[in-house]
Amino acid sequence: MTMKNTEQTHTGQQNKNGVSANPRPTISLQDAINRASAWRTLLGKVNVSPAAAKDSGQANDGAIPPQLLFRAINISMNDINWLMQQHPDATSIRLYMSVPDMDYEYHITGMLVPVDAQNQDMLYVNSDDNMAMEDRMNDTSGSTIYDFTAPCPSMCNTTSPLFNSTNSPDPYLKNKNK
């Protein structure tokens, strides 16, 4: 089964006949490196609490320590395939950023939600219309909100040019396991 491909906002460059020369929204490695670097620069401007800076072993200049900068989310293809099988009517998947445990505020994961043809989150399967909203809010049996992601740092390819080799994930991992 494949997810239906609806009109995407990302299209490849079109040739003189209006035909897409690159039907997938790929970018060059250099553009990817520039974007990843811009992300780390932007995130590095975010201020952190003195306690978080102290826990990381860094002097508190207010910025997130470089080794704690969130870089990526790893998603298994098996999980993507499973999600496609469970939700064949979905036209896409939306990734919401999350922090599952505020004691580890840099351990950022993604919550994947199937999306329908009207661009609406598909949050429940077989939902009981008679179920009270409070009960529905806490029901995991009918939920279609999935978190089988792994954050980077912790699940990183530190040799990738997108990672930035000047920063090691080791302090993050030590902080995560405190």
**What pLDDT digit, counting tens, does each position of 98-113 carry?**
888 888 777 788 899 9
pLDDT in the model for residue 9: 45
Name the band, by pLDDT with cuts 50, 70 and 90, for residue 167: low
pLDDT in the model for residue 17: 53
Question: Distances in Å between the alpha carbon of 172 and those of 43, 73, 141, 160?
Answer: 15, 15, 33, 18
- Does 82 have pLDDT greater than 70? yes
Per-chain mean pLDDT for the chain: 75
Name the band, by pLDDT with cuts 50, 70 and 90, for residue 121: very high
Higher pLDDT, 165 or 91: 91
